[in-house]
Structure 1
Amino acid sequence: MGHRDLNPFVSDGILMGEDDDLSCGGYDFRIDRYTPPSGRRDKKDFGESYSRIFDQIQFQDATGNPSSLSIHAGETVWDLIHDTKSKLYPHQREGFEFMWKNIAGDIFIEKLKRPLSDDGNGCIISHAPGTGKTRLTIVFLQAFMNQYPMCRPVIIAPRGMLLTWEDEFRKWNVDIPFHNLNKLELSAEENAISAKIIGQVGCRGRSRDYIRFVKVTSWLTSSSILGVSYPLFEKLAGDRQQKGQHDQIRKYLLNSPGLLVLDEGHTPRSDQSLTWKALTSVATSRRIMLSGTPFQNNIEELYNTLCLVHPKFADRIDEIHPSCKRGRPRINKDRGKRGTLTKFIGETTDDRLMKLRTMIDPFVHVHKGTILQESLPGLRDSLVFLRPSELQKALLEIASKAKSFFQEVCWVSLISIHPSLVAEEEMFSAYKSEIERTESTIDAGVKTKFVTKLIWLADALGERVLVFSEFLDPLVFIKQQLQSQFSWNEGREVLYMDGKLDQNQRQYSIRSFNDESSEAKVLLASQKACSEGINLVGASRVVLLDTAWNPSVERQAISRAYRLGQKKVVHVYRLITSGTVEVQKYASQAQKDRISQLIFSPTDGPTCHSEASKIVSEDKVFEALVDDKSLSPIFEKIIHQPKAFDMIDTFDFTDLKL
């Protein structure tokens, strides 16, 4: 890259020795020989030391310092990354140019403002999960940072995906330093910074705050990218932090980024969440949201998502439907506009949803996954309705009398998987002895019976199974049963992942599961912690043990296996217990999915996984399960390739209130 010198300087009157210069990523900065307070050094002292050093470093504005590369007439942003265009899929090439037009205004280099103007906009890349959004974004960042080396991008993602980003940068041989703020180890570049800073701060060892200080300093003083999780960003940049704690880091996180990338950007969708509030405080309006499922539950959440990535969207609502009065406090004003949007959508009739789609079209790029249809062997999606056992029926009847609907839903999910999962609940004490007798009998639960038989048959064909659940107890139970019945070992044949798993161990499990030479047979995964952003193409069969209210949760889970890089047909089994609230939950999914398709689907072509996949007419493993005399009684109904529009009629579901 043709970088210019950053040429920062320190405060007037500070004398620096020759040895105090520090080279970082092609730029130099200098730090005063700061002497920390003598005696005991507590957190406050260290914070003051960091603050003093931050104050003495002058940073170039993120909108400045364009590349010094010569420009020739007619050159486009593709010329910033030679030989890359041909390696991208058509939808990625479209997305690349779409990003440039929204973020910087044009794709012709001679028309780009230098330095980068403050009037850039945000955009949403709504490409189906598994279609290469991360790769597309990395290519864009390479080009953007070639043109604007000191734009200081920040990638904010779910915690478990930051190491995936690191892996992707390495995979594509990207030479841009990536500073993972959640990581407690320092990279080689960060160690170089630390070697100079540590003497100035005067601390012994490396505290968590010190490591974060080094990473932020490294990012601020070089052409590099900062990665941080949503919770940590809120902690460091939000309003709830104690006054004086992380003040300097907060200031730089909010004011220094020239570009914000929100991976799985639908995550902070509630305007009452501290994370959403912290993100809306970031100064730059250049924001890229990556989400294959931007519509999650309702129009209110969608409004918050749209305003987060494109703050001017609220003003657009005013232009079209000016019922929101001026002069009210900001928060009430925004709520008024959100209400206006909801009123504008009204009863979510198709024509009104299409109007909303027209409003967001300029800053939302949609790809529903046709590249998967063209590139992958296929997808077979099956709704499997199971009859509960007599004990399960009795327990489900008791669960229906729970004091709260939330408690009922939770109990129904657990009982439907296996009765022993509610053994400790006082509500079911009348059946305590019967429940205890089932604890070592996996066949006592219709779902555990189905899953273990499926895993056994799949293994016989050399296939691996990915099992998702919203709850951890069922996953632990199945893991123990597989170890007991098949003499399999955790970490070898059986892999387990939840949100508490160490990040390095998590990456090891992912690599092991995808490694064809490993002995892995099944991965039991928490839906919340593992259903987004990670690649699990080692699986050719996916089981969803329970049903979510939100259709995007299941779509994301399926896309861990059904994504670019998959070599086999992917078979999906959505297990639903007949006669329970799980049926209602799936019906709710169908209604929400329909709304999402109307807003975010292209005017033609496939609109969901089931329609966008090659037709797969057979499933030998599933046929063997259905034909098994010991299993056939548990099957009540099977629907292959369910479609959201058809499901609404199937379940006779009334309109969902949005």
Structure 2
Amino acid sequence: MPMFGTIKPEDQQRYVGPFWSDRTKECRTRTLGARIRRSSYACTAPIEDSDNKTPATAPYNGERPEAAPLVLWEGCTSNGTAHKIIVDPMLTEYLRQHQRDGVQFVFDCLTGIKKLNLPPSFGNSQEVTGCLLADDMGLGKTLQSITVLWTLLNQGFQKRATVRKAIVVCPASLVKNWASELEKWLKGRCKSTPVAESSRDAVISLYESFKWNQTSKVLITSYECLRLHVGRLKDCPIDLVICDEAHRLKNDKAKIAAAIGEISTKRRLLLSGTPIQNDLEEFYSLASLCIPSALTDPTKFRKYFSNPIMIGREPSATPSEQKKAEERLNEMQKICNEFILRRTNELLAKVLPPKIVFAVFCKLTEVQEKQYHEILSSTACVKVMNASNGKQALSHIQKLMKLCNHPSLIATSSTNSCSSSPSRRGSRRIANRKLLVLAAKASSTDRFVIISNFTQTLDLIEDMLRRLGLAFFRLDGATSIKKRHALVTQFNVPNSNTFAFLLSSKAGGCGINLIGANRLVMFDPDWNPANDKQALARIWRDGQKKHCYVYRLFSTGTIEEKIFQRQLSKDSLSSMVVTDGETSGLKDCMEKEDLRELFQLNVNTLCETHDLLRCKKVECGGTEKSCKEMNEGDLLSWAHHAKGENVTEPISMQAIHSADSNAEQVVSFVMSIWIEYKEETKKESNVKERDVEEKAIEDSDVEEMGIEDNDVEMEDASQV
């Protein structure tokens, strides 16, 4: 198996701890591309200073069954003394099975146990010293990282620490969160130096003091601070770098990536739930930062891997081009399997309450539709489309996106003539969202996270909540770093009376845990599917106790639907490279021509995205629970509701079947999926695993009779 190996000197053999034999086949094989297929702060509520409080997601303090020891390595030191590296029991008791597997994988990578077997044309194999942990959001990448960090700070192959000092680099909004996580899981035993200061002199002072501070072992800093002050760490004995939200390093020529490259250590742990955002070139940047030369130099990578794979994905690709693309993709996956670990959030369904996702498509109002046509027919817009000027086109796209949210967000004469009252601004989408919020408040104690890409949209929602007398918090780019952690912590208090958390996806879409709410509304899509995935994962996470409801809102036939379609195309690339090498029917049927019609308004459809799906279901409908598979990435497996028919969730029904002032229905189409781990799913998985085991026994019997060719036997055995 690829996760087995040896470490120098020759007599130091790696030992697999007692937990290994109990690992599920699903977790054991779920590495990158090689797994068995499974079917301004604002509020109306008081904010307390929570810097010294225990985080709302603190570990359970009651009695727990004793966890099996997690032995990462067993062997002999250089003088022949027997030695084991065992994870601290205070962490082992909180690790789920997939997290134990992840800790083992990361440890093997960072300590050089694993080897990178490159194709002959790439040169000799090399030692793995870096790792990209690409688990989906909510699977506990932070806890796994802290477990490995604490182990390496205290243990090593020669009975001394492997890591003297470490750096955690993350977005500025997560610096305090990382400090709290270290305090929470390690119970104050690991002193850290968090750098979340805005003053240059304060940052310099903290950097300088960390170098000589014997008690502080971990520096927690933002990407921007590291870029500006990495030179001050030149003489510091740093043996490990952890990069959270590492997809920000997608450009290997960026100054931040260069700053990380200046740190002498080769041990680099990159964390990202969305390792691919736009293309394979960005993925190459992450992989090469993790392990330089893992995928050869940029020119050879582009020629050998990227170009053939992308050509083979084109609808016009020939069979030979498709075959070549598949071969190169499999070859790249084999290399990446050695240092990249990716598990999907399907694992969360086993330990979290059900999640119901709704994609809600709403027709424009007459005012919005009229202004939309005015923008498309304007001289400036026509000139941009004819000239194919990307920069100027972006400004018009932004204008259309704002118009989809509300007419008042764009400066036109017709907008100025609209009433300033929130209830009369001409947007059915705002009415729809009002009803979602109002219905939830009237019928339950559920709380909301409301996310938008535009602070102007958050202004409208804030105005609405104030008029309704509902308490809320708001986090956007104007919120200071110091107050962000306090806002999140206070909102997650179980008995909080704060109804909603308004969140800017640009400022707080990554890494924030908002399990105090169980309903999330995404007002508008982003071009980058990774940004939306990050934002949508804020509530369905470890610690959530209630059913979760996620509402993604789109304006029918507009630029928002086309952005959503483009997201699906980008997301297919991520699915190909970091999951299992297969794409869904939806992603295959999306053609580039469908995505280029950005500046068109389709008013004669209930849902343009559903039209492009070419749905072949005999009965295109059903309820949220009617979908047979938990495949959130494939809209063909979702339930489809024309005009919201057959939606059974009460709050959604009230919102979907509401009418505007002209007695017209607000919603034109709904797609939904119910994600829940059921006993039948577990049974199906067990049957598949039993079939695999029986196949292995049959192959073994055939081998004994000498019937099969030896090479074929070896191939079958490796697959099993």
Q: Counterpart of 1:481 in structure 2: which amino acid?
A: M
Residue 480 of structure 2, aligned match among 474, 494, 502:
502
| 1:292 is the counterpart of 2:273 | yes
C-alpha displacement of 1:516? 2.0
The superposition leaves residues 203-233 of structure 1 with CA deviations (integer Å, 9 ceiling, x where unpaired) of xxx94255334443355x4451011111111
Residue 390 of structure 1, aligned match among 362, 366, 381:
366
Q: Counterpart of 1:162 in structure 2: which amino acid?
A: V
C-alpha displacement of 1:511? 1.5
Match of 1:96, SS state, is: helix
| 1:263 is the counterpart of 2:251 | no
1:517 is aligned to 495
2:106 is aligned to 99
The superposition leaves residues 126-147 of structure 1 with CA deviations (integer Å, 9 ceiling, x where unpaired) of 1110111111111111111012
2:123 is aligned to none
How many angstroms apart in 2 are the aligned matches of 1:577 and 1:641? 20
Say if 1:95 and 1:632 are closer, same or farther in 2 by CA, change over 3 A.
farther
Residue 130 of structure 1, aligned match among 135, 138, 151:
138
Q: Counterpart of 1:125 in structure 2: which amino acid?
A: L
Say if 1:478 and 1:353 are closer, same or farther in 2 by CA, change over 3 A.
same
C-alpha displacement of 1:433? 3.8
Given that 1:494 and 1:521 are in contact with CA atoms closer than 8 Å, whether structure 2 keeps it comes out as yes
Q: Describe how 1:324-335 pairs up with structure 2 within 5 A.
A: 334-335=298-299
Say if 1:607 and 1:176 are closer, same or farther in 2 by CA, change over 3 A.
farther
Given that 2:174 and 2:511 are in contact with CA atoms closer than 8 Å, whether structure 1 keeps it comes out as yes
| 1:361 is the counterpart of 2:337 | yes
2:225 is aligned to 232
Given that 1:368 and 1:606 are in contact with CA atoms closer than 8 Å, whether structure 2 keeps it comes out as no
C-alpha displacement of 1:449? 1.5
The superposition leaves residues 109-161 of structure 1 with CA deviations (integer Å, 9 ceiling, x where unpaired) of xxxxxxxxx96511111111011111111111111101226521110001101
How many angstroms apart in 1 are the aligned matches of 2:302 and 2:215? 40
C-alpha displacement of 1:278? 1.9
Q: Counterpart of 2:255 in structure 1: which amino acid?
A: L
Say if 1:614 and 1:581 are closer, same or farther in 2 by CA, change over 3 A.
closer
How many angstroms apart in 1 are the aligned matches of 2:490 and 2:332? 44
Say if 1:153 and 1:338 are closer, same or farther in 2 by CA, change over 3 A.
farther
C-alpha displacement of 1:83? 5.3
Match of 1:525, SS state, is: strand
C-alpha displacement of 1:609? 6.8
1:598 is aligned to 576
Say if 1:618 and 1:134 are closer, same or farther in 2 by CA, change over 3 A.
farther
The superposition leaves residues 342-366 of structure 1 with CA deviations (integer Å, 9 ceiling, x where unpaired) of 2242325472434332221110111
C-alpha displacement of 1:310? 1.5
Q: Counterpart of 2:260 in structure 1: which amino acid?
A: L
Given that 1:496 and 1:524 are in contact with CA atoms closer than 8 Å, whether structure 2 keeps it comes out as yes
Quick one: percent identity of the two aligned structures? 24
Superposition CA RMSD, Å: 3.1
1:450 is aligned to 432
C-alpha displacement of 1:614? 13
C-alpha displacement of 1:443? 5.5
How many angstroms apart in 2 are the aligned matches of 1:481 and 1:496? 13
C-alpha displacement of 1:417? 1.0
C-alpha displacement of 1:518? 1.3
Structure 2, unaligned stretches of length 5 or more?
A: 1-76, 115-125, 156-160, 314-324, 385-391, 583-628, 640-645, 676-720
How many angstroms apart in 2 are the aligned matches of 1:308 and 1:632? 54
How many angstroms apart in 1 are the aligned matches of 2:553 and 2:432? 9
Structure 1, unaligned stretches of length 5 or more?
A: 1-68, 108-117, 186-205, 238-246, 316-332, 644-658
Q: Describe how 1:160-175 pairs up with structure 2 within 5 A.
A: 160-172=173-185, 173-175=187-189
1:346 is aligned to 310
The superposition leaves residues 553-595 of structure 1 with CA deviations (integer Å, 9 ceiling, x where unpaired) of 1111111101111111211111111121211111111112122
| 1:621 is the counterpart of 2:651 | yes
Say if 1:614 and 1:511 are closer, same or farther in 2 by CA, change over 3 A.
farther
C-alpha displacement of 1:371? 2.7
Say if 1:137 and 1:348 are closer, same or farther in 2 by CA, change over 3 A.
farther
| 1:476 is the counterpart of 2:459 | yes
Say if 1:72 and 1:128 are closer, same or farther in 2 by CA, change over 3 A.
farther
Range with greater deviation from structure 2 (399-408 or 510-519): 399-408
Say if 1:353 and 1:385 are closer, same or farther in 2 by CA, change over 3 A.
farther
| 1:408 is the counterpart of 2:396 | yes
The superposition leaves residues 285-305 of structure 1 with CA deviations (integer Å, 9 ceiling, x where unpaired) of 211011111011111111111
| 1:572 is the counterpart of 2:550 | yes
How many angstroms apart in 2 are the aligned matches of 1:442 and 1:343? 52
2:263 is aligned to 282
How many angstroms apart in 2 are the aligned matches of 1:72 and 1:531? 51
The superposition leaves residues 411-454 of structure 1 with CA deviations (integer Å, 9 ceiling, x where unpaired) of 112111111111xx3xx23x14423x245436622222122211
1:59 is aligned to none
Match of 2:295, SS state, is: helix
How many angstroms apart in 1 are the aligned matches of 2:547 and 2:329? 34
How many angstroms apart in 2 are the aligned matches of 1:442 and 1:339? 56
Given that 2:242 and 2:271 are in contact with CA atoms closer than 8 Å, whether structure 1 keeps it comes out as yes
Given that 2:197 and 2:203 are in contact with CA atoms closer than 8 Å, whether structure 1 keeps it comes out as no
Q: Counterpart of 1:134 in structure 2: which amino acid?
A: T
The superposition leaves residues 236-272 of structure 1 with CA deviations (integer Å, 9 ceiling, x where unpaired) of 23xxxxxxxxx5x1524xx742111010111121234
Match of 1:444, SS state, is: coil
The superposition leaves residues 290-333 of structure 1 with CA deviations (integer Å, 9 ceiling, x where unpaired) of 11110111111111111111113133xxxxxxxxxxxxxxxxx6
Q: If the length of structure 2 is used for normalisation, what is the TM-score?
A: 0.65
C-alpha displacement of 1:628? 2.4
Say if 1:503 and 1:346 are closer, same or farther in 2 by CA, change over 3 A.
closer
Say if 1:638 and 1:606 are closer, same or farther in 2 by CA, change over 3 A.
closer
Given that 1:625 and 1:632 are in contact with CA atoms closer than 8 Å, whether structure 2 keeps it comes out as no
Q: Counterpart of 1:454 in structure 2: which amino acid?
A: L
How many angstroms apart in 2 are the aligned matches of 1:72 and 1:441? 78
| 1:87 is the counterpart of 2:81 | no
Residue 373 of structure 1, aligned match among 340, 349, 360:
349
Q: If the length of structure 1 is used for normalisation, what is the TM-score?
A: 0.71
How many angstroms apart in 1 are the aligned matches of 2:90 and 2:475? 38
Q: Counterpart of 1:225 in structure 2: which amino acid?
A: V
Given that 1:442 and 1:449 are in contact with CA atoms closer than 8 Å, whether structure 2 keeps it comes out as no
Say if 1:209 and 1:228 are closer, same or farther in 2 by CA, change over 3 A.
closer
